[in-house]
């Protein structure tokens, strides 16, 4: 949220604070100021440019179009300046850029003014045109000032240029009370007074001058849905002259990034950003029957909104209607038919407090996110509804010549103030430091809370209704501490942290170990959105159509379901990086996927996903670079299982997968713990990834259960040497390495420690349908050194089993 420092300062009774000091105080109160940047109407604010008086003006002896001027700059002797403007003349008051000044011309590059010689005549500055100062595009001649201008006056002062600072506040969703300059000023003054002992006040604009001018026009108001509109106020103004706003009002809006439109709309925007109360202006002449009805939309009803889109309304949408049809989506967006135009002469001005849930659902349903809905969704102050209306009416009288032609209609009442008991001992305990009871009371009162009762142990605090997030004693403690200053809590000299014994592996520790292992293996962690495109998900995998978890009110049609797999987000991350010259990627993500069962129950499951694409390894003169392949993601998955102590007993079996080709599944007993394969070409194409990619997804919950079921054991480092034997086998192409490893381990359970595949050959030198695998076998006895006879017997059992069960033939 953008806050103008000049605007904020107009609500304070002090001018001793700098913008940065205010930013630091606000940040320490929990209103984090993410940036504090200067805002200048003219770059550089014309520093070094002053008013000059042209005392003499003579033609240059060596140039017909140049003049030699003696200019009084308000200090010392006049200086000589060579000027080429056709309209320069003695007696003028002009703007002079002195030597050393940097100018920022309109549409050009900045340049510095230097002492120079022009056709032999010295020039000590520059008499400027409007475009040279960045004040416009006029270059017909120099800018001539009012004769009353005083030489030496800074140009910014002469032209009444005012700089500003913009504070960008990262507002948390619970702080709806700070969605206007008034709320920010309240926090700033409360903290300033508490920390310095000062007695500053927030200067709210007075509305005592509000009065009804006549009874020329009245709009009847009927609220049919009180729960959705607990308070609704309005009045009618006539003799309105719609025109551009005065400069001060436009300047205020531009400072926070809003584009001025006309005086009526600008006033509603101004009050909204000043007080945090949204307003809406209707053209009163376009309200059929002279009536406003606050009701829910009817079935099949439509409304053309200000963006000229016809929207089909939902019966749960709250509508501001006239006697015949809808005029506005309440709290969200205005209707085109009833909007203010240049021809408008009478308006009905609305100020309301709408139900936050109703507005949020309507905004999401129609894909709208407006300044008004942003505030109503979080909760506005029901007690300033009428005050904001009076403030806007007085401004419209000032800037649009309006007359108040009806009494204020005010339907509903403010919400009651919540009461919460706050114990002083709780304040000290949660803050980690003692805060005097009087200070606690003063802080809360500075935040508009009321002290209903007090004794030695506690306060009974009444919380204003606009603080919808303050409901518990702990919430009040937080309010006290943030105004006292989170950065003022002392750090003890010693921190005592007792050791904590965990009986079982926690999900958090398990996830952290997985992440550390993968990061150590060269993977980069990504975090992708949990929302994906439902139509694309169903198109790529029709089987998930009935299991997708759909949002009732999605922000976008592109993000309307919870992800059924982490693959989609990983592919988007790969595309993003590949488009920025980073095609060689090893990515991982720890996250959740979602599905709904036949009974409508939503299930979440934790997954760890790996994606490898591009080249493996870095380019080097020592080794050739190769493309990534399925074996890479399989090897990483096996290493991960080994790191978890689950490698033994794992097996790989072919699997069917809608999104992956050559898919295989890792199984541990009856548990499926991972699936991996190559991302199918049509899936890559749907996301715009042009290169091959390999993907694995591990079931964290199944792995965690297996890890918890393990016992930590110790294995002594072998004292006796291992023996390696190799076999070269001719096999049918349908036989997998996993089959061979399983058969070998079953044939030799006592001595076989490791099986590995180190060469594969498939070519025309082999019989049709055949392939050649070269396997290594590591044998070892922990009790003694193996003899050749023992090794030969063990290898004989393995060879016989492979020949019998896999149809293997021993080669050479």
pLDDT at 502 over 70: no
Mind listing the pLDDT tens digit for each residue in 784-800?
999 999 999 999 999 99
How buried is residue 632: exposed, middle or buried, by Cβ count under 10 Å (0-12/13-18/19+)? Answer: middle
Closest C-alpha to 229, from 172, 295, 138, 284: 295
Three-class secondary structure assignment of 165-198 = EEEEEECCCCCHHHCCHHHHHHHHHHHHHHHHCC
Q: What b/e string do you get for 728-752 counting C-beta neighbours within 10 Å, with b at 16 or more?
A: ebbbeeebbbbbbbbbbbebbeebb
Q: Is a pLDDT exceeding 70 seen at residue 812?
A: no
Q: Is 492 exposed, middle or buried (0-12, 13-18, 19+ CB in 10 A)?
A: exposed
Question: Which residues, including other chains, have CB under 8 Å from residue 699's CB and lie 6 or more apart?
Answer: 605, 606, 607, 671, 672, 673, 674
Q: How many helices (H) and strands (E) does the chain have?
A: 20, 43
pLDDT digits (tens, 9 = 90+) for 708-751: 888 777 778 888 999 999 999 999 988 988 889 889 999 998 99
pLDDT digits (tens, 9 = 90+) for 170-213: 988 888 899 999 999 999 999 999 999 899 999 989 999 999 99
* Spatial separation of the C-alpha atoms in residues 180 and 166, rounded to whole Å: 14
Cα torsion at 624, 626, 632, 636 (round to 10°)?
Answer: 50
Q: How confident is the model at residue 419 (pLDDT cuts 50, 70, 90)?
A: very high
Confidence band of 494 (pLDDT split at 50, 70, 90): confident
The CA–CA distances, whole Å, from 71 to 16, 51, 58, 85, 394 equal 38, 10, 12, 15, 48
Dihedral sign for Cα 424, 425, 429, 435, please.
positive
Structure tokens that stand for 573 in this block? 């991350």
Q: 3-state DSSP call for residue 347?
A: strand
Q: How many CB atoms lie within 10 A of CB 715?
A: 6
DSSP state of 669: T
What span, in angstroms and rounded, lies between the C-alpha atoms of 348 and 327? Answer: 12
- For residue 504, how many other CB atoms are within 10 A of its CB? 11
Instruction: Tell me the CA end-to-end span of the chain in Å, nearest whole number.
Output: 77
Percent of the chain with pLDDT over 90: 77
Q: 540-554, pLDDT tens digit by residue?
A: 999 998 899 999 878
The pLDDT score that the predictor gives to residue 487 is: 84
Are 585 and 524 within 8 A, CB to CB? yes
pLDDT over 90 at 491, yes or no: no
CA distances to 312, 335, 351, 386, 412 from 228, rounded to whole Å, are: 20, 19, 14, 18, 11
Q: Residue 54 and residue 67: Cα distance in Å, rounded?
A: 11
**Residue range 543-569: mean pLDDT, rounded:** 90
- Answer left, alpha or beta for residue 564, where phi above 0 means left and psi between -120 and 50 means alpha: alpha
Coil, helix or strand at residue 647: coil
- CA dist list (Å): 334 to 219, 264, 285, 304, 350: 18, 14, 16, 9, 12
Residue 23 pLDDT level (bands cut at 50, 70, 90): very high
Alpha helices (H) along 222-304: 247-255, 263-275
* Residue 359 in tokens: 């507005």
More confidently predicted of 48 and 136? 48
Mean pLDDT of the chain: 92
Tokens of 239: 């003799």
Structure tokens, 630: 């399925």
0.75 exceeded by pTM: no
Query: Residue 590 — pLDDT band, cuts 50, 70, 90?
Result: very high
DSSP SS3 for 371: helix
Look up residue 773 and give its two tokens: 């695998």
Antiparallel, parallel or unpaired: β 650-654 and 310-312 = unpaired
Spatial contact of 351 and 386, defined as CB atoms under 8 Å apart: yes
Per DSSP, the three-state class of 333 is: strand
The alpha carbon torsion through 509, 510, 511, 512 (nearest 10 deg) reads 50
Cα 402 from Cα 242, distance rounded (Å): 10
Which position has the higher pLDDT, 137 or 576? 576
3-state secondary structure of 427: helix
DSSP state of 309: -
Residue 449: phi and psi, rounded to 5, are -80, 155
pLDDT in tens, 150-167: 999 999 999 988 889 999
Query: Which residues are paired to 329 by β-bridges?
Result: 319, 333
Interval 605-649: pLDDT, tens? 999 999 999 998 777 787 788 889 999 999 999 999 999 988 877
Answer yes or no: are the C-beta atoms of 46 and 110 closer than 8 Å: no
Q: Which 8-state DSSP code applies to residue 11?
A: T
Query: How confident is the model at residue 566, as a pLDDT?
Result: 96
Structure tokens at 121: 């005549």
The conformation of residue 787, written as its DSSP 8-state character, comes to: P
Strand partners, 776: 726, 756
Whole-angstrom distance, CA of residue 655 vs CA of residue 670 = 15
The pLDDT of residue 765 is 84
- For 145, other C-beta atoms within 10 Å of its C-beta total 19
What's the DSSP call for residue 205? Answer: P
Q: What is the mean pLDDT of residues 679-691?
A: 95
* pLDDT of 123 above 90: yes
Q: Does pLDDT of 133 surpass 70?
A: yes
Q: 400: alpha, beta or left, given left = phi > 0 and alpha = psi -120 to 50?
A: alpha
Radius of gyration of the chain (CA): 38
Residue 608 to residues 473, 518, 642, 710, 720, Cα–Cα distance (Å) = 40, 10, 16, 21, 39
Pairwise CA distance, residues 757 & 106, whole Å: 71
Q: Quick one: CA dihedral 132, 137, 142, 148, positive or negative?
A: negative
- Of 319, 389, 322, which Cα lies nearest the Cα of 358? 319
pLDDT at 805 over 80: yes
Gap between the Cα atoms of 593 and 564, Å rounded = 5
d(CA 372, CA 272): 8
| Residue pointed to by tokens 């139900």 | 355
| pLDDT score for 626 | 87
β pairing state of 615-616 and 626-627:
antiparallel
Across 19-39, average pLDDT: 93
* Contact by Cβ (8 Å): 282, 348: yes
Determine how many CB atoms are found less than 10 A away from the CB of residue 340.
Answer: 22
Q: What is the mean pLDDT of residues 51-61?
A: 94
């Amino acid at each position: 949220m953008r806050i103008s420092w000049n605007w904020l300062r107009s609500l304070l009774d002090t001018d001793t604070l700098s913008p940065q000091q205010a930013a630091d105080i606000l940040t320490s109160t929990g209103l984090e100021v993410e940036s504090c940047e200067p805002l200048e109407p003219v770059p550089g604010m014309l520093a070094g440019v002053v008013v000059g008086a042209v005392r003499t003006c003579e033609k240059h002896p060596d140039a017909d179009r140049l003049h030699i001027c003696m200019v009084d700059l308000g200090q010392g002797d006049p200086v000589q300046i060579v000027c080429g403007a056709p309209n320069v003349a003695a007696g003028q008051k002009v703007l002079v850029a002195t030597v050393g000044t940097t100018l920022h011309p309109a549409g050009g590059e900045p340049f510095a003014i230097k002492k120079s010689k022009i056709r032999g005549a010295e020039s000590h500055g520059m008499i400027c045109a409007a475009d040279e100062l960045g004040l416009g595009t006029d270059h017909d001649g120099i800018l001539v000032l009012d004769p009353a201008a005083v030489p030496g006056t800074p140009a910014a002062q002469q032209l009444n240029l005012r700089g500003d600072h913009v504070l960008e506040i990262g507002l948390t969703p619970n702080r709806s009370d700070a969605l206007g300059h008034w709320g920010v000023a309240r926090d700033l003054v409360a903290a300033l007074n508490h920390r310095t002992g000062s007695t500053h006040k927030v200067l709210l604009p007075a509305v005592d001058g509000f009065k009804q001018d006549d009874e020329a026009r009245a709009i009847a108001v009927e609220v049919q849905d009180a729960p959705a509109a607990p308070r609704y106020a309005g009045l009618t103004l006539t003799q309105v002259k719609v025109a551009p706003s005065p400069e001060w009002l436009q300047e205020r809006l531009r400072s926070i990034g809003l584009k001025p439109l006309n005086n009526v709309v600008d006033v509603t925007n101004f009050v909204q950003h000043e007080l945090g109360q949204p307003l809406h202006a209707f053209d009163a002449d376009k309200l059929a029957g002279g009536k406003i009805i606050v009701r829910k939309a009817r079935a099949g009803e439509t409304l053309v909104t200000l963006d000229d889109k016809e929207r089909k309304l939902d019966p749960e949408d709250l509508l501001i209607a006239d006697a015949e049809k809808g005029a506005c989506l309440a709290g969200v967006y205005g209707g085109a038919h009833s909007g203010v135009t240049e021809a408008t002469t009478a308006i009905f001005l609305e100020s309301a407090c709408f139900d936050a849930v109703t507005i949020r659902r309507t905004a999401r349903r129609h894909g709208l996110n407006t300044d008004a809905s942003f505030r109503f969704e979080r909760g506005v102050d029901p007690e300033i509804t009428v005050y904001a209306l009076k403030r806007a009416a007085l401004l419209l009288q000032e800037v649009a010549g309006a007359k108040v032609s009806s009494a204020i209609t005010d339907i509903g009442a403010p919400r009651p103030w919540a009461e919460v008991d706050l114990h002083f001992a709780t304040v000290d305990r949660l803050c980690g430091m003692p805060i005097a009871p009087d200070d606690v009371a003063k802080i809360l009162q500075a935040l508009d809370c009321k002290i209903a009762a007090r004794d030695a142990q506690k306060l009974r605090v009444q919380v204003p209704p606009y603080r919808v997030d303050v409901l518990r004693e702990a919430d009040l403690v937080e309010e006290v501490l943030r105004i006292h200053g989170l950065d003022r809590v002392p750090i003890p000299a010693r921190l005592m942290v007792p050791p904590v014994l965990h009986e079982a592996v926690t999900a958090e520790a398990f996830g952290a170990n997985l992440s550390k292992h993968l990061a150590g293996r060269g993977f980069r962690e990504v975090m992708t959105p949990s929302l994906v495109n439902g139509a694309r998900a169903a198109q790529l995998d029709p089987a998930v159509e009935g299991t997708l978890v759909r949002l009732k009110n999605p922000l976008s049609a592109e993000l309307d379901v919870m992800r059924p797999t982490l693959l989609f987000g990983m592919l988007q991350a790969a595309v993003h990086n590949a488009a920025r010259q980073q095609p060689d990627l090893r990515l991982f993500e720890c996250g959740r996927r979602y599905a709904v069962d036949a009974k409508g129950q939503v299930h979440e499951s934790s997954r760890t996903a790996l994606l490898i694409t591009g080249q493996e390894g870095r380019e080097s003169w020592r080794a050739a670079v190769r493309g990534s392949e399925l074996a890479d993601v399989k090897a990483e998955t096996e290493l991960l299982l080994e790191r978890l102590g689950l490698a033994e007993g794992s097996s790989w079996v072919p699997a069917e997968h809608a999104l992956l080709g050559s898919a295989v599944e890792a199984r541990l007993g009856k548990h499926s713990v991972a699936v991996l394969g190559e991302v199918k070409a049509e899936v890559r194409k749907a996301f715009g990834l042009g290169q091959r990619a390999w993907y694995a997804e591990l079931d964290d919950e199944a792995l965690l259960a297996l890890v918890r079921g393990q016992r930590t054991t110790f294995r002594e480092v072998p004292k006796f040497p291992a023996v390696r034997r190799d076999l070269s086998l001719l096999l049918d192409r349908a036989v997998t390495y996993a089959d061979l490893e399983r058969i070998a381990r079953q044939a030799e359970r006592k001595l076989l420690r490791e099986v590995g595949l180190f060469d594969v050959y498939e070519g025309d030198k082999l019989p049709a349908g055949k392939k050649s695998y070269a396997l290594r076998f590591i044998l070892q006895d922990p009790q003694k050194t193996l003899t050749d006879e023992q090794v030969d017997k063990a290898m004989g059992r393995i060879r016989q089993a492979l020949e019998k069960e896999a149809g293997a033939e021993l080669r050479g």
